[in-house]
Chain A
């Protein structure tokens, strides 16, 4: 029978693997519905380990949105680690969901969220373990539709062999609309099978179906054209844009994992989109325009989420949280509300701005003061103009001085290496900045016991950004510059011990670059790497650059292209890019002129505060900027009655036995409650 739990077969394997708790499900606020009650069944997968995937907001949101529908069932799956993969294969146990441990192959839809391209090999493991043919072309009507989403799905071309469709943009409304189409199609007796269902989804402009497009290549290896091969589907699939985030306050009941995860807190997304215009930032380009949640919705979500989850920390998420039009009010009023409750509030990395030190002070009122994080991204003034990160050295020094003067001991600075036009001097500028930061900090705090951590990530050019044409720095160049910088910092005796230095080698970035800007020909590289054992490419202990390099040489060179061709090569203006037929709303001419402005180190202001510069998104998508201020204030919380006081003493010591009998029942009640719809 379909949808049956594999847990009885899985359980004996669990004592033999590391961290078995990640496979048992049972999270607070998770949902298990009877299989038969659902007309449409979704499996939502995050293709990385449970500890990374569980906190993912996108998956939690869709899980809740879908499960709120009475006739829809959604369960979650995560990538199994290699030790369990081997046992699953040995014992013939399929890829399962963690909610009711159902075989993934039994669902109608397998939705996979790609936050990063490095999850592609894990998709293949999941498909294979689930008994779903790897290639979309080999699938029959009984197999789930495999639909990719998440930021990496804005260029799904490298995985088009393996997916049936991709959803671009915000998923909340999209998953409901897709569900409606599937439900109606089923009700009509599934006329025309799988291909017709995909055509209906494409015609409704809900998804991009790669099989409906043909790609042709020229002599030079570049794409000549990507054209629709049927005239009943739109030639340019578009992204979805949610408006009025206040009416979509998800997740309402955050999942509370039993296992330890990478983010031990609940998150509230305070706005979506960002128009700061950092040219390296794909998220900031593809999620436009800015849509804020209002202060009272944020307050209500924080309250409801904390009550439902028992978390003791709340992260206020967005691409640049300090930019919310009422962030000051939010900080002060939430800090007031949770004073004395041992609840901490946090903002992820903040802009370089003294105001953000004030914000951080508010958030840390209850005690915990770990460190402040700023992201200047580029080491020199010139480079920061190239990437449009408008921070002057003066701003940075003023900001960190304020932080150190107000008692912060540790400041973290984020930079990138390998940015377009970057030279050794630009990267050495990071050392100069660090030195100035430490000097200013010692002066402002009046003592030497301060620290600054410099974290450096390798830049990877992404689709739908002004840097989509850029040649990626080779890993040799990246590693050379990082070594130069490290040696310079270490040799500077004045600061060497006060500056921490964190970086990764440049090789994984090259593979990420291949997957981020690759076309359909890269699919065969992914498949070969996976067949040769490639798994968990985002993990340094599993990643093998040599395996990728070998597979790329074997699969790409016969076609006249190469790893370098896809990564370090700068693209000319007129070259057809693999994702040009996918519409993120951005005007290609604007992206090109912004790329040219970058090369001239010319900056661009944020359209929230200056006139529109015609990036193209709002008119194309029919969307608009949705920001405050609302000038509303947080509502006071409704007081909750506390537990009753202890009655007069006596009759307490004998309570133990009676309590024990009473409780066996409680355990069963909880179990029933969990099993019930």
Chain B
């Protein structure tokens, strides 16, 4: 018996690619990356976005996620690239798709894909972590202690057991300030490494280096504010903006210390 082939012609090839920046806000921070992907694909269908499909028996929409945001963390800067079967107006696509996504899963920008791969324009994240119930001075002191180290490994539970991640090497710079009532706000730039250093790991590290050790009575709430290439001043370059003077890796590697708030 000959192998079965899908009936009908193969799907049309992609004619355009667009890149989207989106936010994951409010209660939607509890979505996992898989939950986000599923909601997004349903949104694509509802908004009738002419997404390109892969061929084969089980065709999938061509959606390329860049990185992922941990379950429980909010974000203002997530990125995804779409292959389209029709060259549609990016802003019209953004408006239609945004309306089809749940509130809190909000599309912030959509531009035609240009230049090199999107992943090549992202090497670090800036996180802002609300730490309720902990005085800002305590977090600040812990941050100083962490930055004074060469290396600091913490243990993290993963699906396949335990892993050690070096938090210090990934943290580029950070600052801590007090918000209104007894709540610290930690602002920290973290380089993307493998395995990734998550905001939780940074907090674990702060807890460990502090004297006496810091504990967090209420679960802290991290929000990713930016992703991109690291500029010399420790700020991040918008990955959707036209590439201009990409920073020199060796230069960014020298960056260490406190952000100027």
Contacts and interface: CB of A to CB of B under 8 A. Distances in A.
Interface string B96-108: 1011111110111
Nearest to B32: A21
A643 B43 contact: no
Given A15-B72, A445-B1, A653-B242, A645 B94 contact: no
A440 to B, nearest CB: 15
Interface stretch (B50-58, B179-187, B248-256): B50-58
B109 A659 contact: yes
Interface string A1-43: 0000001000110111000110111111000000000000000
A610 interface: no
Interface string B45-69: 1111110010011110100000000
Contacts of B96: 643
A307 B46 contact: yes
Interface residues of B, number: 69
A375 interface: no
Residue among A11, A27, A664, A667 having the largest count of chain B Cβ atoms under 10 Å? A667
A663 B98 contact: yes
A55 B23 CA distance: 27
B200 to A, nearest CB: 9
B29 to A, nearest CB: 9
B155 interface: no
Residue among A20, A309, A673 having the largest count of chain B Cβ atoms under 10 Å? A20
Contacts, number: 172
A370 B18 CA distance: 33
B1 A447 contact: yes
Contacts of B101: 670
Contacts of A656: 21, 109, 111, 238, 240-241
Interface string B66-109: 00000110000000000000111111111110111111101111
A308 B42 CA distance: 10
Interface in A653-677: 653, 655-657, 659-660, 663-664, 666-667, 670-671, 673-674
A107 to B, nearest CB: 22
A307 B100 CA distance: 10
Nearest to B200: A15
Given A342-B59, A445-B1, A663 B90 contact: no
A7 B28 CA distance: 13
Contacts of B98: 663, 666, 670
B36 to A, nearest CB: 9
A663 B56 contact: no
A657 B95 CA distance: 15
A447 B26 CA distance: 55
Contacts of A256: 39, 42
Contacts of A308: 46
Interface string A42-85: 00000000000000000000000000000000000000000000
Given A653-B241, A673-B103, A367 B56 contact: yes
A271 B242 CA distance: 57
Contact of A310 (B46, B50, B93): B46
Residue among A366, A659, A673 having the largest count of chain B Cβ atoms under 10 Å? A659
Contacts of A670: 98-99, 101-104, 106
Contacts of B95: 666
Interface string B1-44: 10010111000000010000101011110111011001101111
Nearest to B4: A407
B86 A659 contact: no
Given A24-B28, A310-B45, A670-B99, A646 B104 contact: no
A663 B30 contact: no
B112 interface: yes
Contact of B8 (A16, A258, A339, A659): A339
Contacts of B45: 306, 310-312
B206 interface: no
B2 to A, nearest CB: 9
A660 B109 contact: yes
Nearest to B95: A666
A310 B40 CA distance: 10
Given A340-B8, A368-B57, A655-B91, A26 B44 contact: no
Interface string A480-512: 000000000000000000000000000000000
A622 interface: no
Contact of B106 (A20, A26, A312, A663): A663
A439 B89 CA distance: 57
Contacts of B8: 339-340, 366
Contacts of A367: 6-7, 56-59
A311 B42 contact: yes
A653 B114 contact: yes
A205 interface: no
A24 B16 CA distance: 36
A642 interface: yes
A76 to B, nearest CB: 16
Contact of B104 (A16, A366, A667): A667
B103 A655 contact: no
Residue among A25, A649, A656 having the largest count of chain B Cβ atoms under 10 Å? A656
A47 to B, nearest CB: 23
A439 B67 CA distance: 49
Contacts of A647: 89
B219 interface: yes
B90 A655 contact: yes
B218 A12 contact: yes
A310 B218 contact: no
Contacts of A260: 34-35, 38
Nearest to A101: B27
Nearest to A672: B103
Contacts of B42: 28, 256, 309-312
A369 interface: yes
A644 interface: yes
A652 interface: yes
A20 B86 CA distance: 38
Residue among B104, B114, B218 having the largest count of chain A Cβ atoms under 10 Å? B104
Contact of B43 (A12, A310, A645): A310
Residue among A447, A646, A647 having the largest count of chain B Cβ atoms under 10 Å? A646
Interface string A530-569: 0000000000000000000000000000000000000000
B110 interface: yes
B81 to A, nearest CB: 14
A664 B23 CA distance: 9
A339 B11 CA distance: 12
A259 interface: yes
B213 to A, nearest CB: 20
Interface of B: 1, 4, 6-8, 16, 21, 23, 25-28, 30-32, 34-35, 38-39, 41-50, 53, 56-59, 61, 71-72, 86-96, 98-104, 106-112, 114, 218-219, 238, 240-242
30 contacts: A12-B219, A14-B72, A23-B30, A24-B28, A25-B27, A28-B102, A256-B39, A258-B102, A260-B38, A310-B43, A310-B44, A312-B45, A342-B53, A367-B6, A368-B58, A407-B1, A447-B1, A642-B86, A646-B112, A647-B89, A652-B112, A653-B241, A653-B242, A656-B238, A659-B94, A663-B109, A666-B99, A666-B107, A667-B25, A670-B102
Given A26-B28, A342-B61, A407-B1, 6 more contacts: A20-B72, A258-B31, A643-B89, A666-B95, A667-B25, A674-B103
